[in-house]
Amino acid sequence: MPRRFTPKVVTANDLLLGDVVWQTADNSWTRNISEAEYLDDEDTANARLSQAESQQSVIVGAYLADAKLGDNGPEPTHFREEFRVSGPSTYANAQQAEASNV
């Protein structure tokens, strides 16, 4: 029996910078998941993923990530996406870096 569809967002990595990005309703990319397009229909989600995959000059590795609708927009539901939301941790100006650590 196929799994029941759950809401999604389209996510990928910026081709040049490697930053995590999310697809918005106007087909642009944002580094803020709360600005991502919330997809609660499977056919629409698959169509948006196909559209994202055609943007190989901008992004790489597009996929559908589970999401829930929070007070400020989409939020991750899986620990992998929660980790990706916090941004890279491999350089001093990373989103997780605190002033005391730099």
pLDDT number for residue 80: 85
Q: At 81, is the pLDDT very low, low, confident or very high (cuts 50, 70, 90)? A: confident
**What are the pLDDT digits (tens) for 27-64?**
999 999 999 999 999 999 999 999 999 999 999 999 99
Strand, helix or coil for residue 23: strand
Residue 76's CB is within 10 A of a number of other CB atoms, namely: 20
Which one-letter DSSP state was computed for residue 78?
S
State the Cα–Cα distance between residues 78 and 67, nearest whole angstrom: 8
Residue 10's CB is within 10 A of a number of other CB atoms, namely: 26
Average pLDDT, stretch 79-97?
67
